[in-house]
């Protein structure tokens, strides 16, 4: 049996992925010094009371202090309130 995280109410589950920037020299540099600096993550699932339309792997932009951080199966996630979402970059 595979266990999943299922967001409740107006919560959005997003997966934190290292977002990197490629410089002209070809050097790849992480955009944040540590995981707590991230304010971008990829949409995974919405709770039943969410009003917005989200697609898997949409990039969700939110304030840095928003959400509750979770570690699950060696992956980093955040549970955000839908109101915390500032913008969506559609995939």
53: helix, strand or coil: coil
25 domain residue, yes or no: yes
For 67, the domain range is: 11-89
pTM of this prediction exceeds 0.85:
no
- Can you read off the two tokens belonging to residue 87? 């913008």
* pLDDT cut 90: percent of the chain above it: 51
* pLDDT cut 70: percent of the chain above it: 80
4 domain residue, yes or no: no
Taking only the tens place, the pLDDT of each residue in 41-79 is 999 999 999 999 999 889 999 998 899 999 988 889 999
- Other Cβ atoms closer than 10 A to 61: 13
- Can you read off the two tokens belonging to residue 46? 């919405």
The alpha carbon dihedral of 51, 56, 61, 62 has a sign of: positive
53 domain residue, yes or no: yes
71 domain residue, yes or no: yes
Total structural domains in the chain? 1
Count of CA atoms in the C-beta half-sphere (13 A) of 59: 9
5 domain residue, yes or no: no
pLDDT greater than 60 at residue 2? yes
Write down the residue that tokens 């060696």 correspond to.
74
Which band of pLDDT confidence, cut at 50, 70 and 90, is reported for residue 24? confident
Q: For residue 34, give the CATH number of its domain.
A: 2.30.33.40
């Amino acid at each position: 049996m595979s266990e999943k995280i299922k967001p409740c109410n107006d919560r959005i589950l997003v997966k934190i992925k290292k977002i990197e920037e490629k410089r002209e020299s070809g050097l790849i540099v992480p955009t944040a010094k540590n995981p707590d600096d991230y304010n971008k993550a990829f949409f995974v699932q919405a709770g039943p009371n969410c009003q917005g339309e989200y697609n898997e792997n949409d990039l969700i932009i939110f304030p840095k202090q928003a959400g509750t951080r979770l570690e699950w199966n060696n992956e980093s996630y955040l549970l955000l309130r839908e109101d915390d979402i500032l913008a969506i970059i559609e995939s």
